[in-house]
């Protein structure tokens, strides 16, 4: 049976070619010690296609329209990452305080717009929507906000849109938050409709920010993504994201993900628990 056939080892040349393709298309850098992971993920798909040549499969992946379809299938296995609700609560709470401050100071100018970059299976954008919704409900205001969530994995986005999660995924959600924002669904929990309606999931590659619709954001949330990129690419992506911020908008990244980056359009937030940058008002 093909599913049980043992594939050859990924050679050094094949590893270099495959890792270069992954980096060129996603920005993710594969280290030499991750060769086994790469071989396992690619090999699993090759067995399904009854293909026993890494080079032949690579040709299939890069060849025309059918190659684009095949890449969309393979990339799901290569880039899907583990996440959970409120994974880094200090960053979410910073967004909550920002919204609350703007409400208190009557400084909400139109819709409050948030972008979750690399949203995976949706836990992060839903958590952001919950925190923001808390602020609007506390102030007895109509929830005039939206969260755009993008990811390169079509399979992850499909799961995210359903809003169904194993209870393990909500371990960092408080009892009150769970009661307000989740309903039982067989052996899973589902995000309530009013929160699902606030999040728009869309396919997007962070390397193609410049070609995405130019929608200005109050908050851009980009955590646990840049760490997989080379330093020069991290700076390139962050500079592109800054240009999508409204004046006084905030860019939030993972703590320590970037240490050698500056941009004249932003200033670092003075908070040791988070790594955030505020877009300066236009001169």
CA–CA separation, 45 and 51 (whole Å) = 9
Which long-range contacts does 188-197 make (Cβ < 8 Å, 24+ apart)? 188/164, 189/164, 189/165, 190/162, 190/163, 190/164, 190/165, 191/122, 191/126, 191/163, 191/165, 194/133, 194/143, 195/126, 195/129, 195/130, 195/133, 195/163, 196/126, 196/161, 196/163
Q: Identify the pLDDT of residue 51.
A: 85
Query: What pLDDT is stored for residue 80 in this prediction?
Result: 64
Which residues have C-beta within 8 Å of that of residue 185, sequence separation ≥ 6?
164
pLDDT tens, residue by residue, 206-238: 888 877 878 899 999 998 888 888 889 899 999
Give the residue among 169, 164, 168 at the shortest CA–CA distance from 190. Answer: 164
Angle at 48 between CA 42 and CA 49, to 5 degrees: 90
* pLDDT for position 38: 86
Q: What's the pLDDT score for residue 2?
A: 45
Residue 210 confidence (pLDDT): 78
Which tokens belong to 101? 């401050």
Question: What's residue 32's pLDDT?
Answer: 83
Residue 84 corresponds to which tokens in the numbers above?
Answer: 């959970």
CB count within 10 Å of CB 150 equals: 21
Q: For the chain (length 283 residues), average pLDDT per consecutive 10?
A: 63 89 85 84 85 87 84 79 86 97 91 95 96 96 94 91 92 92 93 97 88 88 87 91 95 89 94 94 73
What tokens does 153 get?
């994995």
């Amino acid at each position: 049976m093909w599913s049980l056939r043992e594939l050859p080892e990924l050679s050094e040349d094949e590893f270099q070619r495959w890792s270069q393709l992954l980096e060129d298309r996603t920005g993710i850098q594969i280290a030499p010690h991750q060769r086994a992971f790469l071989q396992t993920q690619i090999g699993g798909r090759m067995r399904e296609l009854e293909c026993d040549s890494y080079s032949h499969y690579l040709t299939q992946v890069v060849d025309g329209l059918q190659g684009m379809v095949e890449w969309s299938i393979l990339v799901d296995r290569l880039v899907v990452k583990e996440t959970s609700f409120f994974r880094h609560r200090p960053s979410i709470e910073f967004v909550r305080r920002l919204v609350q401050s703007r409400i208190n100071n009557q400084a909400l100018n139109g819709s409050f717009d948030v972008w979750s970059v690399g949203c995976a299976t949706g836990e992060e954008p839903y958590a952001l929507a919950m925190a923001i919704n808390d602020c609007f409900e506390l102030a007895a205001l109509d929830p005039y906000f939206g969260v755009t969530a993008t990811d390169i994995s079509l399979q992850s986005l499909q799961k995210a849109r359903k809003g169904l999660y194993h209870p393990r995924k909500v371990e960092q959600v408080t009892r009150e938050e769970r009661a307000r924002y989740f309903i039982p669904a067989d052996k899973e929990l589902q995000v309530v409709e009013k929160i699902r309606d606030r999040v728009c999931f869309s396919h997007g590659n962070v390397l193609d920010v410049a070609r995405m619709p130019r929608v200005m954001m109050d908050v851009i949330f980009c955590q646990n993504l840049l760490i997989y990129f080379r330093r020069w690419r991290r700076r390139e992506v962050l500079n592109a994201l800054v240009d999508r911020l409204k004046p006084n908008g905030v860019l939030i990244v993972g703590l320590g993900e970037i240490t050698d980056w500056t941009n004249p359009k932003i200033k670092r937030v003075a908070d040791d628990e988070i790594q955030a940058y505020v877009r300066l008002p236009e001169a």
